[in-house]
Every structure is written in C-alpha cells, then in structure tokens.
Amino acid sequence: MKSLALLFVSLTFALCSAAEAQTRTPPRPAPSQRPAINERVFFSAGVLFQVNSNDFTDTATIRRNAENGQLETAYEVGGGLAFDASGSYLVWKNLAVGVGLTLFSASTKTTIDAQVPHPFFFNQPRSVTGEFDGDRKETAVHVQVKWLVPVSNKMLVTIFGGPSFFKVEQDIVNDFEYSE
C-alpha cells in the first residue's frame, strides 16, 4: 500500500505543472455618464482664411469746369487671413457665456474711371483713369451662449450661438487730382 501511495504522489508531482499564484484583476469602475467639466474659464484662438472676395463699385457725380462729371470706382477686395479669439465662463453646469473677436485686414486695389468735363467745350467730357491701393479692415464681435458637451477627459465639444456685430472700414475715393 505504501508503494501504491508513493507511486500516486510521484505521478501527481510528475504530471502536474508548476503552480503559480494568480493575480486578481481589479474590478472595473462603474462607467460614469460623462466626464465632469473641471474648468470654469475657457479660451480659444485661431487663424482662418476668408475665401470670398468682397468686390464692389461706387458711382459719384463730380463738379468740374461749371459742369457735372461722372466718377466710377471699382474696389477689388480679395480674401486673406483673419484672426479669431474667444473666451467664455462656465455659469451653470454645462452652460457658458462668452465673447469672441475676429479681425481681418487686406489691401484693396481700386480702379478709377472718370468722365471729366472739358475746360473749354461744354458736353465734351474727357476720360481719366487711374489706380490706387487702399486698405480694408473688418472687425466682428461675437456674443455667445455655449453648451459644453464633454466627450472624454481630453475632448470637449461646444455648441454655441448668439449675435455678431460687424464694423467695416474701407478707403473710398470721393475726389481725385489730375493734371491738364
């Protein structure tokens, strides 16, 4: 019987693999609804490209040599880089209020085509053409109400809306000089 028990123990050790301690995997935390918003102040800045042109024309009457003449100007305002910055403050849960500023500046090419009255003969206007470079500045202030949606701990989606107020400054030709 002893030999049978010894054979059984020997076979058990020979046929069994080495015993290793198993580590216990920690339980997964319960998934939360969404990550919390920890910051109260948000700031963003960016560069954008204005692709459309804002070309326009203007017509005016000029008075020369006791007669009326015609002044037509064509302004070529191309696209270009614009700068944008905004800041907001979290006022309640996911609701924030903010303000943004967008600035755009470009050089404009202006073409002048005028019909100037003749100094000696009535109803015989002369053509005068020319070009000059001007400037255009666009400023926009955006008042925003934002709803913040945290997607992860590192990503926040913002849905916003509100009014924007624009100010445009453009060099305009209202008179010109020419030599006879």
Residues in the chain: 180
| pLDDT confidence band for 46 (50 / 70 / 90) | very high
pLDDT in tens, 85-128: 999 999 988 899 999 999 999 888 889 898 888 888 888 888 88
DSSP 144-166: EEEEEEE-SSS-EEEEEE--EEE
Number of helices (H) and strands (E), helices first, in the chain?
1, 8
DSSP 52: S
pLDDT in tens, 137-172: 999 999 999 999 888 878 888 899 999 999 999 888
- Report the alpha-carbon angle 144-146-150, nearest 5: 155
Tokens (6 digits) for 114: 């005028």
Evaluate whether 131 touches 121 at the Cβ level (below 8 Å).
no
The whole-chain average pLDDT of the chain stands at 82
